[in-house]
Amino acid sequence: MSRIVIALGGNALGKTAAQQQEMIQNATPSLIGLIENGNEIIISHGNGPQVGMISLAFAVASQHSGNVSNFEFPECTAMSQGYIGYHLQKGILRELKHKGMPWHVATVITQIEVEKDDPAFHNPTKPVGGFYTKEQAQEIMKENPNLLFKEDSGRGYRQLVASPKPIDIVEKDSILNLLDQEFIVIACGGGGIPVIRDEEGDYHGVSAVIDKDFASSKLAELVSADYLFILTAVDQVAIDFGKPNQKNLTDITVEEARKYIEEGQFAPGSMLPKVEAAITFAQSKQGRVAVIGSLEKAVQAMDGSSGTRIHL
Ligand SMILES: Nc1ncnc2c1ncn2[C@@H]1O[C@H](COP(=O)(O)OP(=O)(O)O)[C@@H](O)[C@H]1O
Ligand SMILES: NC(=O)OP(=O)(O)O
């Protein structure tokens, strides 16, 4: 039996509640297939599009109605954990019932500690929300000089927010206890709610969005996982991505992955954090393997017939 942490990409979950449920319905047979094959799974997920949408919805509504307040990113990430966790629980329970499997599933609202002085607070790099044209992005930045937009992997312009590195998972004992009780645990959604710890040991939310790939790598180390699957909208990591000579990668060492990073092969804010998180996990212990692949192909990611495997 292998223990697998599966990180589901926020962009791969679609833009609307209906799309999200459809994406999850397509992905659950493959996720539950891993359990049928004798493995144990722990699920995390992104929230880039969702947290941006939630934040924007409150910002716009609060401008037009005295009955709606604006919400900061920690609260918006908490809402995204509930919204996505709800659909994941619903989809997984349905598949378990269909297969007659006696597992339980629960979402843990997860806070993740970050460093108060993380330099990332002064250099926003995490794309959130929807995609805009260059002209639309410039117009928004003119009206809101505190917002920053940048091009994201050839897909359009997106808002950038600070993305500090995760240092500890506050609810780690709850996660480990649920795993001991044979729960399928959904945790660290949206990279976790970023919090800083004060001198009394109390936690306070900070305005940022943690990259779920880094948070998932932390989670995978915490639960002593054998595999970290980072599932997104593409089947494999590529070099020369989007160019006529694009080459998809099937199996690479940590050393090769580092070389490709140095060559600038992976876009910051999208594929780069996935490859960096995969390296961190794969090098944490001999035998650990990270796979970057597509949402519906988790079973193939396990048997090596799809995805990009990264190992020492
Ligand atoms: N070198 C690369 N190989 C494959 N995909 C890449 C590469 N560089 C950028 N991408 C883009 O990164 C996307 C995955 O990042 P993103 O959409 O941010 O992930 P998530 O699914 O976690 O939200 C892919 O769908 C692809 O469009
Ligand atoms: N929080 C986060 O990393 O979300 P995405 O995976 O959607 O970018």
* Cα–ligand 2 centroid distance for 47 (angstroms): 5
**Residue 308 and residue 137: Cα distance in Å, rounded?**
33
pLDDT tens digits for range 138-180: 998 898 888 899 998 788 999 999 999 999 999 999 999 999 9
Kindly report whether the global pTM for this prediction surpasses the value 0.80. Answer: yes
Where do you find CATH 3.40.1160.10 in the chain? Answer: 3-114+165-311
Task: Return the ligand 1 atom nearest residue 153 CA.
Answer: 9
Decide: 47 in ligand 2 pocket, CB within 6 A.
yes
Residue whose C-alpha is closest to residue 163's, from 130, 115, 201:
115
Residue of 80, 153, 246, 310 with the most ligand 1 atoms within 8 Å of its CB, for mutation: 153
What tokens does 79 get?
A: 């809402």
What tokens does 162 get?
A: 């600070």
Predicted complex ipTM: 0.98
Element of type H or E holding 223: none
Decide: 266 in ligand 1 pocket, CB within 6 A.
yes
Task: Return the ligand 1 atom nearest residue 248 CA.
Answer: 3
pLDDT tens digits for range 187-243: 999 999 999 999 999 999 999 999 999 999 999 999 999 999 999 989 999 999 999
Q: Choose the catalytic residue: 274, 293, 297, 307.
A: 274
**Domain 3-114+165-311, what architecture?**
3-Layer(aba) Sandwich (3.40)
Give the single-character DSSP code of 201.
S
